[in-house]
A and B are shown apart, each in its own frame.
Chain A
């Protein structure tokens, strides 16, 4: 499988934020997107996910076969918001994610074990602290399988131990042949990751 981005250009509110961004990632490869605030990291991820239209260039997924025809069908997108309902319990949130997305991978309990929060399953998501919420959202990446992970500031609000645990999860995903694109300004602790620096002037 190969995620190919060619000459991508994106805008926000009609104003161009970047153009001519190109990269290609094969199985087991990770791209870390860095750059200052407003350089278009989030916009880039959303365009790659297919949540925003690109103003130029193309994003495609080669070799996904019938099961993963495009990036959107093959990706987990972890945005700045956690996509969890505060009124529902953590277990309800995760099992909804699993049932709605299909391709179950880990059960909700196992996924919570992976982010070291096994005791919160029965609590409403709204009771959790910011860091805990983020970790539950990370557990959401594990309940159903997707080869491509698109992560927008995944470690925001995490403490050091959780960050380390999360890098281990990402490495495991890469070893299994997954693809990760992560926008961040803290090092994620992944050796051999490609790096893309988004300039303040919108150029790569």
Chain B
């Protein structure tokens, strides 16, 4: 790995955890600052945006609910790519990425469910309904929790990596189900209004704040993801060093 340092920078160099730590350490402050600024702008615009004529001020919860829901699915796709990275390309950081993303995904999914629940209470008159969209997102939440349990079940990361990757890939099936659930089933949840083939149905005065806060939360997700990945790399190094320490204790005693 040492000769990689003398060669010009390539994407593959990121595979080296040391290299990753170095690079991400440089990028992280900028990314974090950008995430904060963009999110703040998006939310500020959201508060300045006109109220919905039917929903009143309640509609503002959309500016966090929709980004949370969007990230809950994007996070899963990031994990699915990481799973491919583990199984196909044997990328050494792929497993770290998957393990680090799972708790973030679970939190964003829980937030999406909670904000949706708070939004739904005045609109639908109930905290929860078992319709296609809500149920499939809840199943996504359960899958995140299952993956968290799986990635932490074994002390040895190499052994749990493959299992977690396989489960992640099998679970990808849920993502299109969530996406199209509002079209396949008759539900209380409103149909898609931004990502449509025939263009968004949402008015542009609401659309722009939504897009900007979505971008802000996406940047925030990647900031968190890189931070947790770094923590995971350090955790593995600490564990490796402790194993080394155990070995060295033996050698000292033999000497």
The residues of A with any CB-CB pair to B shorter than 8 Å are 116-117, 119-120, 123-124, 126-129, 131-132, 159, 161-162
Task: Give complex CA distance A116, B250 in Å.
Answer: 9
The answer to whether B250 touches A123 (Cβ under 8 A) is no
Which of B74-82, B213-221, B239-247 makes up part of the contact surface? B239-247
The answer to whether A120 touches B254 (Cβ under 8 A) is no
A129 to B254, CA, bound (A): 13
B243 touches A127 (CB 8 A): yes
A127 touches B242 (CB 8 A): yes
- A21 and B3 CA atoms in complex are apart in Å by 70
Bound complex: CA of A119 vs CA of B250, how far in Å?
Answer: 10
B252 within 8 A of A: yes
Is chain B's interface secondary structure helix, strand, loop, or mixed overall? Answer: helix
With A159-B254, A161-B253: A129-B245 Cβ-Cβ less than 8 Å: no
Question: Are the C-beta atoms of A129 and B247 separated by less than 8 Å?
Answer: yes
Query: Which residues from chain A contact B252 at a C-beta distance below 8 Å?
Result: 116, 119
Is B155 positioned at the interface, with any CB of A under 8 Å from its CB? yes
B160, chain A: closest CB distance, angstroms:
15
Q: Are B254 and A132 in contact (CB under 8 A)?
A: no
Question: Are B249 and A117 in contact, with the CB atoms below 8 A?
Answer: yes
User: Which chain A residue has the least Cβ–Cβ distance from B253?
Assistant: A116
Residues 217-255 (chain B) with a chain A CB within 8 angstroms: 242-243, 245-250, 252-254
Q: How far is the CA of A85 from the CA of B249 in the complex (A)?
A: 19
CB-CB < 8 A to B254: which residues of A? 159, 161
Cβ contact of A162, chosen from B242, B243, B248, B253, cutoff 8 A = B253
Chosen A-B contacts, 24 in total, with CB atoms closer than 8 Å, are: A116-B253, A117-B253, A119-B245, A119-B248, A119-B249, A119-B252, A120-B245, A120-B246, A120-B249, A123-B242, A123-B245, A123-B246, A124-B242, A127-B243, A127-B246, A128-B246, A129-B246, A129-B247, A129-B250, A131-B250, A132-B246, A132-B249, A132-B250, A159-B254
Q: Kindly name the residue among B250, B252, B254 whose own CB sees the greatest number of chain A CB atoms within 10 A.
A: B250
Q: Would you give the shortest CB distance from A162 to chain B, in whole angstroms?
A: 7
Task: Give the complex CA separation of A119 and B248 in angstroms.
Answer: 9
Residues facing A in B118-163 (CB within 8 A) are 155
Docked Cα-Cα span, A127 to B239, in Å, equals 9
Chain B contacts with A in 26-78, Cβ cutoff 8 A: none
Query: Complex formed: what's the CA distance from A30 to B246 in Å?
Result: 33
Would you give the shortest CB distance from A126 to chain B, in whole angstroms? 7
Residues of B with C-beta under 8 A to A117: 249, 253
